[in-house]
Amino acid sequence: MPRQRVHSLVSKMIINEELLASLDDPSECAILHRSEPTRMQALALQLADKVGNLVDSNERIFEKQGSFFQRGGAPRGEGRQRGERPRDGWARRQRNRRRDEDRAHEE
């Protein structure tokens, strides 16, 4: 993008108060000014911190209790690998049910 176009866009953003900065003509740099976050931004940051803390505590509890058994009750290393889904799960039953319903409607 040409310098003049960048200068124009940055100037427009500064005028519209979308960017808290000033342009330094000799160095052709934009000097950004620090601003305080809005109330909404501050609340969003607080929420993100609290969710992060919750995730950390859940991980600590999970590690403390041990993770010998996977979903479905099969011990790790027996039967299926980590992340592999059981072959007779809910999703398979749903697909089979929909297929049977579609066949019934076709007849």
pLDDT at 47: 97
Q: Is 13 exposed, middle or buried (0-12, 13-18, 19+ CB in 10 A)?
A: middle
User: What's residue 62's pLDDT?
Assistant: 85
Tell me what pLDDT residue 35 has.
79
How do residues 34-73 score in pLDDT, each as one tens digit? Answer: 878 889 999 999 999 999 999 999 998 888 877 555 555 5
* pLDDT value at residue 98: 75
Question: What is residue 79's predicted lDDT score, i.e. its pLDDT?
Answer: 52
What pLDDT score does 99 carry? 79
Q: Is the pTM of this model over 0.95?
A: no
pLDDT tens string 72-94: 555 555 555 555 555 556 666 77
